[in-house]
Every structure is written in structure tokens, then in C-alpha cells.
Amino acid sequence: MSLVKKWPVMAFLLVLLPGLCDAQFGRGLRELTLSGSGSSSRQFDSGTISGTGELGWYRTPHLEFGLRQSFNWTKYEQGSTWNGATRLYGDYHFGSGQWRPYVGASFGIAYGERSDTTLFAGPEIGLKFYVLPAAFLFVQMEYQFLFESGANVHGVDDDAYAYSFGAGYNF
């Protein structure tokens, strides 16, 4: 199925998300995080830039649901390419102190200029360190089971890890 045919499904999920979260907007019930990275050759003639942003809503003081978007652009001698991933996630946060570990799961779609559009799902873990009452640094790791057409899961050799380190803010 082409990416054009999948856009209505992704738009429907975006519209459905706030209803699933039943978010009550107010101070501290939403969360915005940003992370990024880059690398290049010593001559700066090739390299990669990537970034991830997410917007989450707390259903309870410990249960968060949200939308995460990742983007990657790579330049090399023969040209450049981009890819991205859009996913829904749910995380359970432990404690309310300065250090807050969490576990959760995500489900999404990976797409790109030179890659097959693929659905994926999997668990995630992370840790937030609050430097201020509403501002934090975080580290996170996701394991992604990649799906073939239909409901078949690729072999373990085809699965992927996604790592993030960034900053966030509760509002």
C-alpha cells in the first residue's frame, strides 16, 4: 500500500488521539519533549541530522499518552535522502521525585525516500531527571518489532532500537 493511501489512516489516528487520552487541559497535564543529533565526515561533505519531538497528555498523574515524530536527513556524495517515523505511545511513570523512570509501548509507521513504509510496535523504557519542577532531561530506548504486509512480524534480525536523549517541559 502506498504512503498516499496510508495518510487517511494516520490523520484518523491523530484526530482520535485526544479522545483516547480524555485530557483535561491545565497546568502540568501536557508534556513537550525535543531531542536531536547529528554527525558528519571530517571534511563536512557528508553527514546526518536527526530530530524527534513528542507531545503527550497525562490521563492520570502517572499515565501518559502521546504522539511522537522523528525525522532524519542524510547527505552523501551521491545525493541526500530523508526518512521519518510517526507513532502513538503510552507510558507509565513511577514516582513523583526528581528521578522518574517509566515503561511503555508505542505503535507507529516508518517511511522515507529510499525505504519501504513499515508498521512497527514495541516496548520502551526511559528515565526523566527534573532540573526544575516542570523542566527535565530524559533518556529513552525503544525496541521496534517491524511488521511485514498484514500482521506478520519480521524476524528478530530485522527489528530495530531507537534511542533518544533530550529535554522536556510539562505545561
Per-residue confidence at 8, pLDDT binned at 50, 70, 90? low
Task: Give the pLDDT confidence score for residue 33 in this predicted structure.
Answer: 98
Give the number of other Cβ atoms within 10 Å of residue 4's Cβ: 7
Instruction: Work out the average pLDDT over 101-119.
Output: 93
Contact yes or no for 145/156 (Cβ under 8 A): no
- pTM, two decimals, is 0.77
Coil, helix or strand at residue 28: coil
Structural domain containing residue 28: 3-170
Distance CA 41, CA 77 (A): 11
Identify the CATH number of the domain in which residue 103 sits: 2.40.160.20
Q: Assess whether pLDDT exceeds 90 at residue 64.
A: yes
Within its chain, how far is the Cα of 135 from the centroid? 19
Degrees to nearest 5, angle at CA 32 with 28 and 34:
150
Largest CA distance in the chain: 51
The amino acid sitting at 61 is P
Q: How confident is the model at residue 22 (pLDDT cuts 50, 70, 90)?
A: very low
Q: How many domains does the chain have?
A: 1
Overall average pLDDT of the 3-8 stretch: 54
Question: Does position 27 have pLDDT exceeding 80, yes or no?
Answer: no
* DSSP, res 133: S
Cell of 131: 532540573
